[in-house]
Structure 1
């Protein structure tokens, strides 16, 4: 059996004395999209923050591409191929689109490939190409989400942790972003761990689904089963 790109075992994490994640276990196969679903407060964002090194786990293992990530600094995780686009998009408002994107590749030694990656992002996101000298605060919500995603892609990640990309966006823009994730998976082999409140939208592009409840994994199965299983939908997803 092929080893998953990401394997999480017995993960516990929280903020100070407040536990959030409790014995979380999941696996993510390479070249797939896994949707992490659940109500507000279920621990979804905390899971991504812990996986990306922003929050230290109190117990458990995080294994990425066969290597244990415990104690690895955030910048080293990026070098290993893990990128995190947090909720709220994280665009530097004072910098231009081009400057924001270049931040994603500053650490890369292969400058020629960094330039190619930048050109590829402009090809993927034509609105950004037209506004490359505009400051971040001049962009629409959809354009800011494109910019945050594009900056992560400039680093050429193998695993993208994406937190609530549809938040505050029009349905048309959300559909475009979801279609792009499918295209990146199919064309480049990108693996995506997607936290999303828009359950239907997430399951329409995902291969697997993980449902979280009160800091634990309540269900982990195929996206098709989550869409079709009425009991699971009613119990955990509210539709």
Structure 2
């Protein structure tokens, strides 16, 4: 068994019968999923399917009215958002969330403020600059002077400075040119292969997501309607036409 196969033999994250709502009507209904350690899992579906709500629930921003989330065998019910970060969960929301008044370097350092091992925090920062060369060239630039692609790299880099085990990534290609989208997706694959990072990726660009994902989860109206390896979903013509739009 290869190292890569071994890394994916167990699950890192499980959601069991999640029901979540912002009011009386649930947005997620009995959602269950398993994310293998060291894998990229794409969450796909039309607008309003519940994808962003799912990520917000998994990161602790929303509390389910029923069901539970389990990370590496530990029940996360009642765990606060800041504790989720310390347990290795990083959430990069849609819109990137860069602090535009701060420099690239200052933004990245925010990602490691909670860490006590300062030497390793410095190593993590250096590794991010090595991975994202455009950021290294612009480390003294304020966030508002970056391109859309550079801001997405910065949001990703800030999450990685905290050395997460699980990266929850919401619509990283939103508003980006196809070339930049391809770069971002390639970086996710590099992170998976180089570090064993587990990624749960919400993405409207279905082709790009399935090109890097190991597994795809398709959602519709708050429910999971398909869960299969990425190649199977890519080749399933009925599924593509019904839910994926290509």
**TM-score when scaled to structure 2?**
0.96
1:185, distance to aligned residue in structure 2 (A) = 0.4
- Equivalent residue for 1:34? 41
**Corresponding residue number in structure 1 for 2:5:** none
* Matched residue, 1:10: 17
Cα offset for 1:17? 2.0
Task: Choose the corresponding residue for 2:200, options 189, 193, 198.
Answer: 193
Give the Å deviation of 1:18. 3.1
Structure 2 spans left out of the alignment, 5+ residues: 1-7
Displacement, 1:2?
4.7
CA drift at 1:238: 1.5
Q: Match of 1:89?
A: 96
Which of 127, 135, 140 is residue 120 of structure 1 equivalent to? 127
Corresponding residue for residue 60 of structure 1:
67
> For 2:42 and 2:28, how far apart are their aligned partners in 1?
17
> Which of 155, 166, 169 matches 1:159?
166
Query: How much does 1:19 deviate?
Result: 1.4
SS of structure 2 residue aligned to 1:45: helix
Cα distance in 2, alignment partners of residues 124 and 177 from structure 1: 11
- 1:82 Cα shift? 0.5
Is 1:223 the equivalent of 2:223? no
Deviations 1:1-57 (A, max 9, x none): 954100100001111223100000000000000000000000000000000011111
Of 157, 172, 175, which residue of structure 1 is paired with 2:179?
A: 172
Contact 2:9 2:37 (8 Å CA) reproduced: no
Q: Does 2:16 correspond to 1:19?
A: no
Q: CA deviation at 1:162?
A: 0.2
Aligned counterpart, 2:139? 132
**CA–CA distance in 2 between the matches of 1:148 and 1:14?**
27
- Of 51, 64, 67, the residue aligned with 2:58 is 51
